Amino acid sequence: MSGAVAMPKKSVLVPTLDAMPGACPDRRSFLRFPVPAGPAAAIVLLRDTGQRIPARLLDVSIAGARIQWEAQAAGPEEGEMLLLEQVPAELFGGTLQGRYAQLVWRRGVQAGLLFETLLA
């Protein structure tokens, strides 16, 4: 697949943390499950430009995930909508594959994603 991808508008979910006074990216509403390091944690984030960013899942909840990518400059920006691709089927019964998420915080090479819909 090449070229641009139709993504939901980035304002669909929540404002970025900068727009939320007192917000803290470490404050979580749902229990998070760590994802063991290794090949099963590898995913690809697809930007609306068609650019693919290799990343790794660090932990997942029903509402979102914490991710990490290789190079600080390569990562997406806060508020950007992304599509999770190439997610190993053994992770959460394959429910992460093809899921849209908004990047809601970013610190260096780590970031927080908020899924468009909760995991069932």
pLDDT in tens, 6-21: 665 543 444 343 433 3
pLDDT for 120: 81
Domain hosting 80: range is: 30-115
pTM recorded for the entire structure: 0.76
In angstroms, rounded to a whole number, what is the distance separating the alpha carbons of residues 26 and 110? 12
Residue 79 covered by a domain? yes
Residue scoring higher pLDDT (78 or 10): 78
CATH of residue 47: 2.40.10.220
Burial of 76 (0-12, 13-18, 19+ CB in 10 A): buried
Tokens of 93: 């019964």
> pLDDT value at position 43?
93
Give domain status of residue 78, yes or no: yes
How many domains is the chain built from?
A: 1
Instruction: Classify residue 4: in a domain, yes or no.
Output: no
Specify if 7 maps to a domain: no
